[in-house]
């Protein structure tokens, strides 16, 4: 199966990709997840347990900066909602 098919976002319940067994390049079964974030609410995607991006160490400075940026984005989104 090609990466293009593996990376397909499944939004339609009748999508045939929901009824197939999908494996990653390591031969492990992929899990179909559903996003619960505001920006991607309801989007479905395949995940691999071998995908190590979330296991990488983040240095303390980057962690501090990222948390400040996320907080700033949340503040700006709240201000935008108030002004609309």
Reported as a single tens digit per residue, the pLDDT across 22-42 is: 888 888 888 888 888 878 888
Contact 22, 1 (CB under 8 A): yes
In order, the DSSP letters of 8-60 are -----TT-GGGGS--B-TTSPBPEEEE--SSTTTT-EEEE-TT--GGGS---H
- Residues of the domain holding 77: 3-83
In this predicted structure, the answer to whether residue 82 has a pLDDT above a threshold of 50 is yes
Please report which confidence band the pLDDT of residue 1 belongs to, taking 50, 70 and 90 as the band edges. Answer: very low
How many structural domains does the chain have? 1
């Amino acid at each position: 199966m090609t990466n293009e098919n593996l990376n397909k976002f499944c939004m339609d319940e009748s999508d045939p990709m929901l009824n197939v067994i999908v494996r990653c390049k390591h031969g492990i079964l992929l899990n179909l997840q559903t996003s619960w974030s505001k920006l991607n609410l309801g989007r479905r995607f395949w995940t691999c347990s071998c995908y190590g991006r979330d296991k990488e160490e983040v240095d303390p400075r980057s962690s501090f900066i990222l948390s400040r940026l996320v907080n700033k984005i949340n503040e700006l989104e709240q201000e935008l909602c108030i002004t609309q």
